[in-house]
RNA sequence: GCCCGAGUAGUGUAGCUUGGUAACAUAUAGGACUGUGGAUCCUCUGUGCCGGGUUCAAAUCCCGGCUCGGGCCCCA
């Protein structure tokens, strides 16, 4: 038997119903914040992705040569393609530019729960502003999207990469060592970090202070720790501004400062944030984003950029884990021709109702009334329309309310009105 | 790419240790119900991931592959 490729999935109607629901809710929220949709190709030149991450990235993506010998790759994420498009076509667009997207992405990873080789991302890019209110609105948007799809329990963490750099400077840690330490910080492996710092001749006292600052949500403590470092001070002041806006103006109850947020990316600079769903366990991160610099790397004129991406599949998984009840697709009318002779009339009634914009299905298996009504119930039909010889003679139909079981005789012309009430 | 575990009707499971005709529930289709639904009963259809080995005989034991899941690596 031919089977589906590793790490990919089919989505049957029941699953697509949930996915579309999710996408529509997300889209409505993006639009509510003034964002416009953008779509880029499924594959790009390989160079677009190696430019910022180096050749080592090739191990993790699907790349190939086309028949003209071009080196191409299936997109592993959407920020780089969107920025490429911005440089090609949107540099002169009025600022700030707000772009959102949905798209499938591909990574050559080992699949696990919540991790697939083809997965979907929802995300956005905000180009041309980096005021605290712009950053606060961006973070609020990410948070609001996840809340609006119905998630109950999510955690928002906000950090700043300039600050953590300042912390490393303070300890005089070299870039080579820093890289190893960042791995521990990223994974919150503080005991390993502790040993690593100690073995790099950092005193016990300094190590403890460093570890405390990484984990504390207290901005004053952090401010105090990097006292005298001008850049860090500026960034922390901005961060305080963003936090205040999130709490007061955007009404987000519990944004947390976590200076230990690292993000795996090289191109983030200042603000970084993550949103996770604790219910998901190991693969709990739902969203990541921040302030970054890609436009100039790709040859465009420098401009402030920030954005985030939401793991669409994980967001859905989190909702399901929280036992969210998704809206069920329902049918307005299911038509039951009682005998073969009434099939033409049934079809014609179906056409008329469909032309009115109703969703209509009818028995195509020539089943009995009992089985047909059972099928109609399984499709969550709101009404059944029964057409037998009696009804046909009178030019009427029997309208059955599937919710309460009540029945009445109804002229075809009055059906639409009856169903809409 | 590495280590570990699992794969039996569409779905969920039993049988595997100790090899001997593959079962149950549910879902689908038909019928009981000659014109009224989520109930009940009956009937049909449908199953050993793939390939090899051992054996008179393999769902069961062995090897390889594939897929899924847990842990590494990675997560731009």
A267's CB contacts (< 8 A; 6+ apart) are A52, A292, A293, A294, A297
Residue A397: which nucleotide is closest by CA–C1'? Answer: B35
User: Where a domain ends, among A261, A296, A321?
Assistant: A321
Same domain, A161 and A81: yes
Residue A294: which nucleotide is closest by CA–C1'? Answer: B76
Residue A1 within any structural domain of the chain: no
Higher pLDDT, A263 or A15: A15
pLDDT tens-digit map of A309-340: 999 999 998 998 888 888 888 899 999 999 88
Same domain, A345 and A313: no
* Residue given tokens 């992705």 in the structure block: A49
Distance B75 C1' – A266 CA (angstroms): 13
Phi, psi of A287 (to 5 degrees): -150, 140
A403: Cβ under 7 Å from strand B?
yes
Q: Are A195 and A208 in contact (CB under 8 A)?
A: no
Query: Could you tell me the two tokens for A349?
Result: 């009634």
- Cα–Cα nearest to A261, from A234, A288, A243: A288
Q: In the prediction, which pLDDT does A74 show? A: 94
Residue A117: which nucleotide is closest by CA–C1'? Answer: B75
A54: Cβ under 7 Å from strand B?
no
Same domain, A305 and A371: no
**d(C-alpha A392, C-alpha A336), whole Å:** 12
Host domain of residue A372: 331-420
Residue A402: which nucleotide is closest by CA–C1'? Answer: B37
- Cα–Cα nearest to A126, from A170, A92, A79, A159: A79
Same domain, A374 and A226: no
Distance B39 C1' – A403 CA (angstroms): 17
**d(C-alpha A416, C-alpha A155), whole Å:** 47
Residue A114: which nucleotide is closest by CA–C1'? Answer: B69
**d(C-alpha A278, C-alpha A357), whole Å:** 42
User: Where a domain ends, among A288, A321, A354?
Assistant: A321
* Enclosing H/E stretch for A192: helix A190-198
Find the mean pLDDT for residues A349-354: 94
Residue A7 within any structural domain of the chain: no
Task: List the strands of the sheet with A256-257, edge to edge.
Answer: A36-37, A97-106, A118-127, A305-311, A285-292, A268-276, A155-160, A256-257
Q: Torsion angle of alpha carbons A142, A147, A149, A154, nearest 10°?
A: 90
Same domain, A226 and A351: no
Q: In the prediction, which pLDDT does A310 show? A: 95
Burial class (CB in 10 A: 0-12, 13-18, 19+), A203: exposed
Q: Are A262 and A290 in contact (CB under 8 A)?
A: no
Query: HSE-up of A34 (CA within 13 Å, CB side)?
Result: 9
CATH of the domain at A189: 3.30.930.10
Same domain, A337 and A205: no
* Enclosing H/E stretch for A298: none
Same domain, A312 and A391: no
Q: Are A321 and A370 in contact (CB under 8 A)?
A: no
Distance B72 C1' – A271 CA (angstroms): 30
A49: Cβ under 7 Å from strand B?
yes
Interface predicted TM-score (ipTM) of this complex, two decimals: 0.85
A282: Cβ under 7 Å from strand B?
yes
Q: Torsion angle of alpha carbons A86, A88, A90, A95, nearest 10°?
A: 60
B49 C1' closest Cα residue = A1
Q: In the prediction, which pLDDT does A1 show? A: 65
Distance B48 C1' – A360 CA (angstroms): 42
Q: Are A208 and A231 in contact (CB under 8 A)?
A: no
A369: Cβ under 7 Å from strand B?
yes
Distance B42 C1' – A379 CA (angstroms): 26
Residue A404: which nucleotide is closest by CA–C1'? Answer: B37
Nucleotides of B under 7 A from a protein CB: 1-2, 28-39, 49-50, 66-76
Residue A6 within any structural domain of the chain: no
Same domain, A229 and A174: yes
Residue A184 within any structural domain of the chain: yes
- Cα–Cα nearest to A297, from A49, A44, A107, A74: A49
Cis peptide before A96 (omega within 30 of 0): yes
Distance B21 C1' – A56 CA (angstroms): 57
Residue A60: which nucleotide is closest by CA–C1'? Answer: B74
pLDDT confidence tier of residue A151, bands split at 50, 70 and 90? very high
pLDDT tens-digit map of A78-112: 999 999 999 999 999 999 999 999 999 999 988 88
Q: Are A160 and A130 in contact (CB under 8 A)?
A: no
Helix, strand or coil, per DSSP, at residue A291: strand
A15: Cβ under 7 Å from strand B?
no
Residue A5 within any structural domain of the chain: no
Same domain, A89 and A116: yes
DSSP state, A224? Answer: H
**d(C-alpha A291, C-alpha A363), whole Å:** 56
Same domain, A142 and A240: yes
Query: Could you tell me the two tokens for A255?
Result: 């944004």
pLDDT confidence tier of residue A265, bands split at 50, 70 and 90? low
What are the residues facing A381 on neighbouring strands? A331
Mean pLDDT taken over chain A: 90
A402: Cβ under 7 Å from strand B?
yes
Query: Could you tell me the two tokens for A343?
Result: 């099939």
Residue A401 within any structural domain of the chain: yes
Q: Which of A128-137, A167-176, A198-207, A262-271 has the lowest mean pLDDT?
A: A262-271
DSSP state, A56? Answer: G
Residue A76: which nucleotide is closest by CA–C1'? Answer: B76
Find the mean pLDDT for residues A210-218: 88
Residue A88 within any structural domain of the chain: yes
Distance B20 C1' – A102 CA (angstroms): 57
CATH of the domain at A405: 3.40.50.800
- Cα–Cα nearest to A242, from A193, A190, A306, A173: A306
User: Where a domain ends, among A276, A297, A321?
Assistant: A321
Distance B46 C1' – A108 CA (angstroms): 36
Same domain, A303 and A404: no
Residue A4 within any structural domain of the chain: no
Q: Are A121 and A77 in contact (CB under 8 A)?
A: yes
Within residues 177-206 of protein chain A, the ones with CB less than 7 A from nucleic strand B are: 183, 186-187
Total tally of structural domains belonging to chain A: 2
Residue A1: which nucleotide is closest by CA–C1'? Answer: B50
Q: Are A262 and A165 in contact (CB under 8 A)?
A: no
Distance B14 C1' – A9 CA (angstroms): 29
Q: Are A171 and A217 in contact (CB under 8 A)?
A: no
Same domain, A244 and A359: no
- Cα–Cα nearest to A87, from A125, A34, A134, A141: A125
Helix, strand or coil, per DSSP, at residue A74: strand
Find the mean pLDDT for residues A359-371: 91
């Amino acid at each position: 038997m031919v089977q589906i490729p590793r790490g990919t999935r089919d989505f049957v109607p029941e699953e697509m119903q949930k996915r579309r629901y999710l996408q529509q809710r997300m889209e409505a929220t993006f639009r509510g914040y003034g964002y416009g949709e953008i779509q880029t190709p499924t594959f790009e030149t390989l160079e677009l992705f190696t430019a910022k991450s180096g050749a080592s990235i090739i191990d993790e993506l699907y790349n190939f040569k086309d028949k003209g010998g071009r080196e191409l790759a299936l997109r592993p994420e959407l920020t780089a393609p969107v920025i490429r498009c911005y440089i090609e076509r949107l540099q002169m667009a009025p600022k700030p530019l707000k772009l959102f997207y949905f798209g499938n992405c591909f990574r050559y990873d080992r699949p696990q729960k919540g991790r697939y080789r083809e997965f979907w991302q929802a995300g956005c890019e905000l180009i041309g502003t980096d005021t605290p209110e712009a950053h606060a609105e961006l973070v609020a948007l990410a948070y609001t999207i996840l809340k609006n799809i119905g998630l109950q329990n999510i955690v928002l963490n906000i950090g700043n990469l300039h600050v953590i750099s300042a912390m490393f400077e303070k300890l005089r840690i070299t870039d080579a060592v820093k890289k190893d330490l960042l791995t521990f910080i990223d994974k919150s492996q503080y005991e390993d970090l502790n040993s690593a710092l100690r073995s790099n001749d950092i005193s016990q006292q300094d190590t403890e202070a460093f570890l405390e600052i990484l984990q504390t949500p207290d901005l004053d403590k952090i401010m105090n720790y990097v006292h005298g470092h001008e850049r860090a001070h500026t960034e922390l002041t901005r961060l305080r501004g963003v936090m205040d806006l999130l709490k007061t103006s955007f009404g987000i109850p519990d944004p947390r400062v976590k200076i230990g947020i690292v993000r795996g990316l090289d191109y983030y600079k200042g603000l970084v944030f993550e949103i996770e769903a604790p219910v998901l366990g190991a693969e709990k991160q739902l969203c990541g984003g921040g302030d970054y610099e890609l436009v100039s790397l790709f040859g465009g004129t420098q401009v402030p950029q920030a954005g985030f991406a939401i793991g669409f599949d994980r967001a859905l998984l989190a909702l399901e884990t929280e036992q969210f009840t998704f809206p069920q697709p329902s049918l307005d009318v299911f038509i039951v021709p009682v005998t073969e002779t009434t099939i033409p009339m049934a079809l014609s009634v179906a056409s008329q109702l469909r032309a009115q914009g109703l969703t209509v299905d009818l028995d195509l298996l020539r089943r009995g009334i009992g089985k047909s009504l059972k099928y109609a119930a399984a499709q969550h039909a709101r009404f059944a329309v029964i057409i037998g010889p009696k009804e046909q003679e009178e030019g009427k139909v029997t309208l059955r309310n599937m919710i309460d079981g009540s029945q009445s005789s109804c002229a075809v012309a009055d059906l639409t009105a009856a169903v809409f009430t």
